[in-house]
């Protein structure tokens, strides 16, 4: 008898861990709990995380499970996401979660609830922009969810260039009100999350106009929808902007304001005031606003870590389970994780997930200490903080989106299915390269900072922090790599990154100087060197990344068990070597290394693939992501990828009936249209 | 009075061409019709194309318009796509379109119909695999659409490695039937387009088993669904595999076969036969099968051209219309197409769209002449044709998916909307890197061919065609670039690509040789050098690409008007320079050029941005894509991007009601749950 795949088997398979994955776990050389606690920031945090996971994925699993999500229409996604928001907000009230807990919950739930801007932008906006009196009015309403809000800044025609925003708030002295307008098509607010269908209020950014004089952009509290029946308020038109690559659970919206009147006290007046008689008073600079912008970018770096973790988890587990082809005739098909090319797709992402974890954590520490100083009136770190957060947001999201896509491809055809999880992750993570500052614009901001610092360094003023390398003597450099074994020395490798950054940044600075001296107008000089400036920023940011990563790993090696320390150092060394090979052109062109050194580094990079191989599965297990957070048929802990793929098809709407309705409407006519069949 | 955006304006805007775009068209230096005809392959083809566009987008615009597509649920997409298929098939019958016309229609319609495999795989499969007698039975049924079919090869557990496929067809001598089974979970057919809900028949690939002996993979005609009522036939279970990143209009399906019996004559027996008494007879090799595989890959290269054209059209037009920021205070915001960084994102894709056009066309010519030879029994070109089509499919789809994504990012936030068209294009084009051969596997196939050719060259046997460069004397090379003006000489630049390919391929060949001589087993040698082999294949394929491109441009320059010739040469030179800068590491490492040369090339590449700038819009206009094919609110001919974006929101399902149903179900309870509002 031929073997048969029966219905009984399909319905009754046992959820045992795939033996290939089990075997991988047995080759782990370190204690996995130790690493889990390191990543969580202590055992107590691990416990807290697991408790939170338990609430959402045990007590409310029907609502929060990922399984139906890939099969929902946009409206269904939105509705489910509103339901989740409401539940999360109720639970927040019940458990009195802190902001930090809430960040963790966001991560656990993959940021999959519609009203998240209420807590990430609307309430912080009130706290930052409103006077104490205004806070006393609005915060209790927002905190008790009697109102839900968003932050409406971006317009159809303007994103990055805030100065160009067109919405106006014109003061009407007679009625003591502002009249808010989006005067042109391009002026309508466009993109804010929750704006389309959900929110009752928005902080609307508008150009303040008094007696035809423009006083710049200021925030206004605008009621969008009736608190009785949720219908739009008079004079405004709003809706959902439509389907996106991902995040279709969120109703990003448009808003047209047509002579919408708000009382004078709805201008949030912490930083600037308009008096009853229409006098404009600037109260303080926007350093605190500035700090908020920085904070959001630091948070994005941290989100990037989560996308990398998910992609690495899916692709490493799947690659351990998937078998395909054999290199040696007569032997069983091999795990695709054993192919060198597959390792080269997957391990950089795995290492980067650790790198970005440590960088994000260091950035956050720095932000917090610098912000404390800013509140004390000391702004000395602000310029560097701004340049580094902008640049690293760009550099790390660019790097990670590429890696996530490579991981997706490493899953072959199945990586194209939404239930792969890594497909959804990829398209979601693509938002990060544009939101909160388009990446090219951000690189150029970093580059401007670097040019200033370089000018300082050249003129003898010592630079500090991330640009301290600019004080070095470029000409005295000799390549520290004298043998292949030097390629395992993180300090020597760091030297290479430093020299490359220094040379590339210096090269552009000199070029700019030359162009200026040739009499070209400043804007032409800047525009004609934009590509080079971007390249310089990347070289610098690459250095910052590995610098922070190495520092944290050094620290970890000194404090953790030797077994774990060794693996952490290996992973870090691989990441640093990989970066050099990726940018080989830059390293050669800046004469940081020669052809021999590059060949050693390339070879050593390949050696590390073999070194990392036995711990690969354990290194993703240590992220300890809940199956519901990984949200992937290919990446579950049990590794039963084919069962999970097959099971997912029961949620597919096209499978609701054996014969699809379109047969009766369209196909039958075609099939029966010819001669009568003789079959 | 403040300016107001009124409902009247929103409803009554006039569809005039955006003045920024109009101005761009006036700077065109060549005759655009001439280029349109070149790209269409003659004026008569342009007319034919426009006639076809007219049928679909005028006579049947309601059915074929893209406007609702981004807002449809998966089931709606599928249903609409079935309706389109039926209409296309009816029209095909009516107009008696040729295969070539049908390819063109596919392009015009963005491959957006569900049953396309009927004509691209099922009917060609019968023609290729069936005996004359079998053809006489099945072809009329298929051609008259009494049956619609697909080609079921890939399984849940096996894609690339065809030898590993698990489905069995066991001959039952007693009943003169085959019993077809998918014995394990991993054996079910998974992925074939149209399999889930649409097709009545499939050519199923299965291991032929006679008396427990396996005779390899053979094709079997299997009826999937009743021709009376479309219900699945007994013994099989089938359905849709679920949501994908894109192509959700197509019901890619799974198929479980459980002792499904088909008569012996349902084995398609052109290449092998089973007699009544169970004797297996191999009739011919599979050279023709082989040729079909090659053809599909050549076609994919041609599809790649369409994705590049669409992305370039959208991003160039949008960049000409979008204004953002000013570099010189006090001047109006500038077109983003004037930023050097934006040009660097967009122009490589524009140039590549031309490059791939010419490469695809040359590949197709070569395929046709080689296939004619194969039919005559001359297989001398087959190995090269296979290696080149496999490799170029991989190389060009890798390149183009990256470029399309860069173009999407060049549209900022709006590039994240599905109505941008370029977002959908990007996720669609990602399928191309996996289908019909996973790209890494294909690179390795090319690399194996290169290693053989290199062994020939080294042993004194002259290599020909794409590997002719291997006969050169590597050591006698001197870099032909002696000044920046040499960087405009395509012949000299081609020398660089040749040298780089030669050195990189030679390097890996020597490495393999060394490893073999050191006594490592062959499979280990191959696995340990996979990354290097891939790199060698890319260097070779990059050369092949620019080689073909330059040859076609040389030819064009000799035959077309001087004005057009100049632009074509400029675009080609830019593409060739850009490729060197992209792979600077490889060119330096292979000692193809020195630091001075690289600096010249880098500078000259930037100069070409300025040279190309005035013709950018006209170069995309020359693709002459119908607005319905571009399918983008950002990329329409009239350039009224904000109007088209705003208009698209009326199709958004969340906007069907002012108050979304989820308010009553979920949100109201939260908002009214607190104290009574005092607002």
Least confident of A160-174, A302-316, A335-349, A400-414: A160-174
In this complex, do A82 and B662 lie within 8 Å of one another by their Cβ atoms?
yes
Residue in A228, A242, A446 to test binding to B, most B beta-carbons within 10 Å: A242
- Is the CB of A677 less than 8 angstroms away from the CB of B9? no
CA nearest A232 in B: which residue?
A: B658
> Are the Cβ atoms of A434 and B415 closer than 8 angstroms?
yes
From the list A83, A159, A186, the residue facing B413 with the nearest CB is A159
β strands within B121-194, DSSP E: 149-152, 168-172, 177-181, 189-190
Based on the residue annotation, tell me whether B333 is a catalytic residue of this protein. Answer: no
SS3 category, B357:
helix
Minimal CA separation from B549 to chain A, in Å: 25
Q: Where are the beta strands (DSSP E) in B124-188?
A: 149-152, 168-172, 177-181
Contact state of A243 with B643 under an 8 Å Cβ cutoff: no
Is the pLDDT assigned to residue B63 strictly greater than 50?
A: yes
Number of other CB atoms surrounding residue B379 within 10 Å: 15
Inter-chain residue contact A245 with B416, CB threshold 8 Å? yes
Instruction: List the structure tokens of A510.
Output: 């000199």
Encode pLDDT of B151-163 as tens digits.
999 999 998 788 8
Question: What is the per-residue pLDDT across B235-248, written as a single tens digit (0 to 9) for each?
Answer: 999 999 999 999 99
Burial class (CB in 10 A: 0-12, 13-18, 19+), B265: middle
Q: Which residues of A are designated catalytic?
A: 436
Decide if pLDDT at B657 tops 90. Answer: yes
Higher pLDDT, A671 or A292: A671
Question: Scanning every residue of chain A, which has its alpha carbon at the shortest distance from the alpha carbon of B675?
Answer: A146
Closest residue in B to A525 (Cα) is B327
Is there a contact between A654 and B197 if contact means CB atoms under 8 Å apart? yes
B272 DSSP β-pair partners: B282
pLDDT tens by residue, A566-600: 999 999 999 999 999 999 999 999 999 999 999 99
Contacts of A146 in chain B (CB under 8 A): 671, 674-675, 677
- B598:A589 CB<8 A: yes
For residue A660, which residues of chain B lie inside 8 Å, CB to CB? 78-79, 82, 197-198, 251
The answer to whether A192 and A114 have CB atoms below 8 angstroms apart is no
Token duo for residue A140: 């209790």
Which of chain A's residues have a Cβ under 8 Å away from the Cβ of B649? 239-242, 254
CA distances from A23 to A417, A666, B282 (A): 27, 52, 42
Give A156-178 as a 3 state SS string.
CCECCCHHHCCCEEEEECCCCEE
pLDDT, position B86: 95
The minimal CB distance from A598 to the residues B85, B416, B589 is found for: B589
Q: Inter-chain contact A230–B668, Cβ cutoff 8 Å?
A: yes
Residues of chain A positioned with their CB less than 8 A from the CB of B528: 340, 606
Across B310-323, average pLDDT? 98
**Given an 8 Å threshold on Cβ–Cβ distance, is B232 in contact with A154?**
no
**Mean pLDDT of all residues in chain A?**
94
Q: How many CB atoms lie within 10 A of CB B132?
A: 8
Q: Please give the helix or strand (H or E) that residue B502 lies within, else none.
A: helix B490-517
pLDDT of residue A678: 41
Which of A86, A232, A589 lies at the smallest CB-CB distance from B670?
A86
* Res B437: pLDDT: 92
Indicate the pLDDT class of residue B51, thresholds 50, 70 and 90. very high
A178-205 average pLDDT score: 97
Q: Among all residues of chain B, which has the CA nearest to that of A331? A: B523
Q: How many beta-carbon pairs under 8 angstroms link A with B?
A: 436
Q: What's the pLDDT band for A286 if we cut at 50, 70, 90? A: low
DSSP A8-36: HHHH----PPPHHHHHHHHT--S-HHHHH
> Closest Cα of chain A to B106: distance in Å?
19
Distance CA B405, CA A321 (A): 30
> Does residue B676 carry a pLDDT above 50?
no
Residues from chain A that touch B338, judged by Cβ atoms under 8 A, are 527
Residues of B in contact with A251 (CB under 8 A): 654, 660
Confidence of residue B81 (pLDDT cuts 50, 70, 90): very high
Residue A562: the pLDDT is 98
Q: Across-strand partners of A62?
A: none
Report if pTM > 0.90: yes
DSSP output for B405-449: HHHHHHTGGGGGBGGGSHHHHHHHHGGGGTTTS-HHHHHHHHHHH
Residue pointed to by tokens 């007590």: A59
**Residue A185 confidence (pLDDT):** 95
Asked if residue A330 has pLDDT above 90, the reply is no
Residue-level pLDDT at B556 = 97
Residue B1: is its pLDDT beyond 50? no
Structure tokens at A657: 């009936």
Whether residue B474 has pLDDT greater than 80: yes
pLDDT tens for B99-149 read 889 999 999 998 888 898 999 899 999 999 999 999 999 999 999 999 999
Band the pLDDT of A161: cuts 50, 70, 90: confident
Cα separation values, A557 from A25, A552, A571, A661, B28, Å: 23, 9, 12, 62, 63
> Which of A265, A273, A287, A325 has the alpha carbon at shortest distance from A137?
A265
Provide the pLDDT for residue B678: 41
A189, A167 Cβ separation under 8 angstroms: yes
Q: Is there a contact between A430 and B416 if contact means CB atoms under 8 Å apart?
A: yes
Catalytic residue among B34, B436, B438, B647: B436
Residue B245 and residue A154: Cβ atoms within 8 Å?
Answer: no
Contacts (Cβ under 8 Å, ≥6 apart) of A608: A347, A570, A573, A574, A577
pLDDT in tens, B541-591: 999 999 999 999 999 999 999 999 999 999 999 999 999 999 999 999 999
Nearest to A145 among B6, B658, B674 (CB): B674
Contact B645 A156 (CB under 8 A): yes
Tell me the chain A residues in contact with residue B166 when contact means C-beta distances shorter than 8 Å: none
Instruction: Give pLDDT tens digits for B340-354.
Output: 999 999 999 999 999
- Percent of chain A beyond pLDDT 70? 96
Of B179, B531, B653, Cβ closest to residue A606: B531
pLDDT class of A313 with cuts at 50, 70, 90: very high
Q: Which residues of A touch B198 (CB under 8 A)?
A: 660, 667
Confidence of residue A288 (pLDDT cuts 50, 70, 90): low
């Amino acid at each position: 008898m031929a073997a048969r795949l029966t219905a009984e088997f399909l319905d009754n398979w046992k959820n045992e861990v795939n033996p290939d994955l089990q075997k991988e776990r047995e080759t782990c050389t370190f204690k996995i709990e130790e690493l889990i606690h390191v990543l969580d920031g202590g055992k107590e945090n691990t416990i807290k995380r697991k408790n939170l996971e338990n609430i959402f994925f045990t007590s409310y699993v029907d609502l929060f499970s990922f399984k139906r999500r890939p099969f929902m229409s946009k409206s269904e996604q939105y509705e489910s996401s509103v339901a989740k928001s409401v539940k999360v907000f109720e639970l927040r009230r019940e458990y009195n979660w802190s902001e930090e807990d809430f960040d963790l919950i966001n991560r656990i739930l993959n940021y999959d609830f519609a009203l998240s801007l209420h807590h990430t932008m609307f309430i912080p906006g009130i706290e930052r922009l409103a006077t104490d009196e205004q806070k006393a009015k609005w915060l209790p309403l927002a905190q008790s969810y009697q109102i839900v809000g968003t932050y409406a800044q971006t317009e159809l025609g303007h994103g990055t260039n805030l100065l160009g925003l067109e919405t106006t708030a014109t003061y009407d002295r007679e009625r003591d009100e502002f009249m808010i307008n989006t005067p042109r098509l391009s002026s309508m607010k466009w993109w804010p999350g929750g704006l389309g269908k959900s929110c009752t209020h928005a902080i609307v950014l508008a150009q303040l106009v008094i007696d035809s004089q423009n006083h710049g952009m200021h925030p206004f509290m605008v009621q969008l929808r009736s608190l009785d029946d949720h219908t739009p308020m008079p004079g405004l038109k709003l809706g959902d902007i439509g389907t996106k690559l991902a995040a279709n659970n969120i109703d990003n919206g448009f808003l047209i304001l047509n002579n919408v009147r708000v009382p004078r006290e709805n201008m949030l007046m912490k930083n600037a005031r308009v008096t009853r008689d229409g006098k404009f008073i600037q109260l303080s600079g926007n350093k605190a606003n500035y700090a908020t912008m920085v904070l959001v970018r630091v948070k994005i770096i941290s989100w990037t870590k989560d996308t990398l973790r998910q992609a690495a988890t899916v692709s490493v587990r799947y690659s351990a389970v998937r078998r395909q082809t054999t290199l040696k005739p007569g032997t069983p098909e091999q795990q695709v994780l054993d192919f060198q090319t597959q390792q080269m797709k997957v391990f950089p992402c795995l290492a980067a997930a650790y790198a970005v974890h440590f960088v994000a954590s260091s950035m956050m520490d720095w932000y917090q200490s610098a912000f404390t100083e800013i509140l004390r009136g000391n702004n000395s770190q602000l310029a560097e903080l701004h340049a580094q957060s902008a640049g690293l947001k760009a550099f790390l999201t660019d790097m990670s989106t590429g890696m996530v896509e490579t991981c997706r491809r490493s899953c072959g055809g199945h990586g194209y299915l939404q239930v792969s999880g890594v497909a959804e992750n990829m398209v979601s993570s693509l938002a990060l390269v544009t939101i909160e500052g388009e990446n090219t614009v951000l690189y150029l901001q970093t580059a401007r900072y670097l040019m200033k610092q370089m000018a300082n360094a050249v003129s003898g003023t010592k630079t500090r922090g991330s640009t301290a390398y600019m004080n070095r003597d470029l000409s005295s450099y000799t390549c520290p790599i004298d043998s292949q074994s030097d390629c395992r020395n993180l300090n020597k490798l760091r030297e290479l990154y430093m020299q490359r950054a220094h040379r590339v940044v210096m090269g552009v600075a000199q070029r700019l100087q030359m162009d200026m001296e040739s009499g070209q107008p400043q804007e032409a000089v800047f525009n004609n060197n934009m590509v080079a400036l971007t390249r310089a920023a990347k070289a610098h940011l690459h250095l910052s990344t590995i610098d922070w990563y190495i520092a944290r790993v050094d620290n970890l090696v000194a404090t953790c068990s030797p077994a774990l320390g060794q693996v952490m150092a290996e992973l870090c060394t691989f990441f640093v070597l990989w970066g050099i090979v990726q940018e080989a052109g830059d390293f050669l062109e800046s004469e940081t290394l020669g052809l021999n050194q590059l060949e050693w580094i390339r070879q050593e990079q390949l050696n590390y693939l073999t070194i990392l191989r036995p711990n690969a599965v354990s290194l993703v297990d240590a992220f300890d992501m809940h199956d519901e957070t990984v949200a992937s048929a290919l990446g579950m802990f049990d590794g039963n990828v084919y069962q999970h793929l097959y099971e997912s098809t029961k949620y597919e709407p096209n499978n609701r009936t054996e014969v699809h309705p379109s047969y009766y409407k369209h196909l039958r006519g075609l099939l029966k249209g010819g001669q009568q069949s003789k079959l």
